[in-house]
């Protein structure tokens, strides 16, 4: 009986997870003392997330990618903490703790090997997402958080049911290899895998399980939405890649179809939007379609998906960092609806333009390289028709990404509440990441492999 656990036997992933849990617990335990301070919750969170990044750099492969990208997403949320539109200003420690827990969820989804771990990670991100969205100011975030919660609960139950079916068929909670499952119970396992994938697809926000995420990203506080979005997509994509590599075509085919439908749907539906926040939410759905398409494209798709998450994550974090502090109400574009109220100031408007162009896939921004990678993988797996559909859908999306441009270019020089120092750091860092990845996409590709 050794009293002290042997720390050296722990993997770096586990150390990072423990670190994040401890950070979250400290924040929650001392919340009543920390809530007057503007900096303390953020700093505690940053130290913890920084530690997690450091742990991540010790690892390799998917673990490295998951830890680094997940922790970076948490860091951005923390940096924007002070400009978040909270229902109660004193809830920053709780929000910081939730972000850290969300980070654990993402990491668990990326590194987890058994279905139970994946379920746990999904649930962590779901609850954190719903709570963070609902922490926002006013009725809209509450409504969005509630809807997100109800829908996530249902898809999570579906996921659990799928897990149960798989367990009945295989007798193990490991990610099933459908080919090795006996003929008689294979349909059971196949349906199980599909239902499990539905739960993960909700995190990815693909059609038709995008409703919750769409509303959450529309009405949640922008400071957190970027982080939640990136963590969800990172975790869900990684988990789906694992699931699909075991399930083969039985899952890859539906994912390809769902991905294409999502891309086309999101592009078309977003043409009718005149609210910038809603546009960004639809953009998240469209990109989920590309991720699903990548997951559905076999082995080559796996790397492409990881690459896509990095490139997309950078641009999405930048976009929401620029929107942080603009309230939780709609942001109608005056070029489309008279009386629009977009007030960002030129600096943040410029940052948002860079983010939008990257999301639109304009070369040489990272969004372009990642889209190419997924299309390449899709072409290798599914041929010309699927690739052409995806390419057309993806490229037509440029129309709605450029819709806010006239408004953004018309931003007046001086606006009040330009944002705090931390928010400026967040925007600057995100711009730097996007620009570096534009010209050296190799860096992201190496991280993704």
Partner 1 sequence: MTNEILVVVAAAFVFACGAMGVVYRKNPVAVLMSVELMINAAILLLILGSRIHGNAEGQAAGLLVLVLGAAEAVVGLALALAVFRSRSRVDVDEPKEIAG
Partner 2 sequence: MTTMLSQVLPWAWLFPLPFLVLSALGIPRKAGALSFVGPLAIFVAALGFLLGDRATQKVVFDGWIPFLPDPAFRLTADGLAAVMLAVVGGVATCVFVYAIAYMKDDERAHRFFAFLDLFVATMSLLVVAGNLTVLLAGWTGVGIASFLLISFWWTKTLPDGTTPLQAGFLALGANAVGDAALLVACVLLPRGGGALDTLAQSAPRAPGGVLTVGLCLVIAAAAKSAQGPLWFWLPSAMAGPTPVSALIHAATMVAAGVYLLVRTAPLLEASPEVLTVITVVGLSTALLGGMASLWQTNFKRGIAYSTASQLGWMFVAVGVGAPFAAFFHLVTHASFKAMMFLSAGTVIHAAHHEEDIRKVGGLAGTLKGAHAFFLIGLLALIGTPFVTSGGISKEAILAAAHHHTSQPWVFWALLAGVFVTGAYGGRLYFGIFHGKKGEASAHAHGDHLAAFDLPLLPLAAGALGLGYLEGGTGLLHGLLGNTVKPGLAVHVVPDGMGWLAFGIAVAGVLFGRFLAGLPQKGLPVPGGEGGSSVVAEVRILPEGLAALHGGRVGRYLFLTMLGAAVVAGLSLRPPSGELPRRVGRAPAKASASADKADKADRNQRGKGGASSGERRPGGRPGVPAGLQDALRNRLRQNNNGQPRPGGAAPAPAPAPPPSAPAATP
Q: Distance between CA 45 and CA 433 in Å, rounded?
A: 21
**Which of 224, 308, 320, 369 contacts partner 2 by CB under 8 A?**
369
In eight-state DSSP terms, residue 60 is -
Query: Using the rule CB under 8 A, is 431 a contact of partner 2?
Result: no
Residue 203, Cβ density class (10 Å: 0-12 exposed, 13-18 middle, ≥19 buried): buried
Q: Distance between CA 75 and CA 200 in Å, rounded?
A: 24
Q: Distance between CA 131 and CA 184 in Å, rounded?
A: 43
Query: Using the rule CB under 8 A, is 48 a contact of partner 2?
Result: no
Q: Which of residues 129-148 bind partner 2 (CB under 8 A)?
A: 146-147
SS3 category, 425: helix
CB of 65 to partner 2, least distance (A): 16
* Residue 34 contact, options partner 1, partner 2, none, Cβ 5-8 Å cut-off depending on partner type: none
Q: Which is nearer to partner 2, 25 or 168 (CB)?
A: 168
DSSP sequence for 40-64: HHHHHHHHHHHHHHHHHHHS-HHHH
* Residue 375 contact, options partner 1, partner 2, none, Cβ 5-8 Å cut-off depending on partner type: partner 2
* Residue 140 contact, options partner 2, partner 1, none, Cβ 5-8 Å cut-off depending on partner type: partner 1
377: which 2 tokens? 């993988």
Query: Using the rule CB under 8 A, is 270 a contact of partner 2?
Result: yes
Query: Using the rule CB under 8 A, is 329 a contact of partner 2?
Result: no
Contact 449, 241 (CB under 8 A): no
144: which 2 tokens? 């969005």
Q: Which is nearer to partner 2, 235 or 246 (CB)?
A: 246
CB of 185 to partner 2, least distance (A): 7
195: which 2 tokens? 């239902």
Judged by CB under 8 A, which stretch of 62-70, 75-83, 201-209, 227-235 contacts partner 2? 201-209
Contact 366, 441 (CB under 8 A): yes
Query: Using the rule CB under 8 A, is 194 a contact of partner 2?
Result: yes
Choose among 396, 393, 392: nearest CA to 262: 393
Q: Which is nearer to partner 2, 155 or 232 (CB)?
A: 155
Judged by CB under 8 A, which stretch of 61-69, 133-141, 206-214, 224-232 contacts partner 2? 206-214
**Which of 22, 90, 383, 412 contacts partner 2 by CB under 8 A?**
383
* Residue 163 contact, options partner 2, partner 1, none, Cβ 5-8 Å cut-off depending on partner type: partner 1
Query: Using the rule CB under 8 A, is 34 a contact of partner 2?
Result: no
Query: Using the rule CB under 8 A, is 207 a contact of partner 2?
Result: yes
Distances (CA, A) of 170 to 114, 240, 246: 13, 19, 13
* Residue 134 contact, options partner 2, partner 1, none, Cβ 5-8 Å cut-off depending on partner type: partner 1
Phi-psi region of 6 (alpha: psi -120 to 50; beta: other; left: phi over 0): beta
């Amino acid at each position: 009986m050794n009293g002290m656990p042997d720390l050296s036997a722990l993997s770096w992933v586990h150390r990072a997870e423990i670190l994040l849990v401890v950070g979250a617990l400290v924040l929650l335990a001392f919340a009543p003392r920390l809530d007057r301070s503007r900096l303390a919750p953020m700093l505690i969170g940053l130290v913890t997330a920084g530690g997690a990044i450091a742990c991540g750099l010790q690892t390799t492969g998917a673990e490295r990618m998951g830890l680094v990208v997940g922790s970076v997403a948490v860091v951005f949320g923390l940096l924007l903490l002070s400009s978040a539109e909270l229902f109660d200003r004193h809830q920053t420690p709780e929000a910081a703790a939730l972000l850290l827990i969300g980070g654990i969820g993402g990491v668990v989804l990326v590194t987890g090997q058994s279905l139970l771990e994946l379920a746990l990670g999904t649930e962590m991100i779901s609850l954190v997402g719903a709570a963070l969205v609902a922490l926002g100011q006013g009725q809209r975030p509450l409504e969005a958080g509630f809807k997100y919660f109800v829908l996530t609960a249902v898809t999570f139950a579906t996921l659990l049911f799928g897990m149960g079916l798989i367990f009945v068929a295989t007798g193990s909670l490991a990610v099933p290899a459908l080919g090795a499952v006996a003929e008689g119970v294979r349909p059971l396992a196949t349906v199980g895998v599909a239902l499990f994938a539905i739960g993960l697809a909700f995190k990815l926000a693909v059609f038709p399980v995008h409703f919750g995420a769409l509303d959450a990203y529309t009405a949640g506080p922008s400071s957190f939405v970027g982080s939640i979005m990136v963590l969800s997509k990172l975790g869900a994509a990684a988990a789906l890649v694992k699931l699909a590599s075991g399930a083969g075509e039985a899952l890859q085919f539906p994912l390809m179809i769902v991905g294409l439908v999502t891309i086309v749907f999101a592009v078309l539906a977003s043409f009718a939007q005149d609210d910038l926040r809603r546009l960004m939410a639809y953009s998240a759905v469209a990109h989920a379609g590309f991720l699903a398409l990548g997951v559905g494209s076999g082995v080559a798709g796996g790397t492409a998906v990881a690459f896509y998450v990095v490139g997309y994550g950078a641009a999405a974090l930048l976009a929401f960092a620029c929107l942080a502090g603009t309230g939780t109400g709609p942001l109608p574009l005056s070029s489309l609806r008279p009386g629009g109220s977009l007030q960002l100031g030129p600096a943040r408007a410029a940052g948002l333009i860079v983010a939008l162009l990257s999301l639109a896939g304009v070369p040489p921004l990272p969004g372009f390289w990642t889209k190419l990678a997924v299309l390449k993988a899709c072409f290798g797996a599914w041929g010309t028709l699927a690739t052409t559909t995806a390419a057309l859908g993806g490229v037509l999306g440029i129309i709605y990404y450029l819709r806010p441009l006239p408004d953004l270019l018309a931003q007046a020089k001086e606006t009040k509440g330009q944002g705090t120092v931390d928010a400026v750091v967040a925007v600057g860092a995100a711009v730097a990441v996007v620009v570096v990845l534009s010209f050296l996409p190799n860096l992201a590709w190496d991280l993704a492999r």
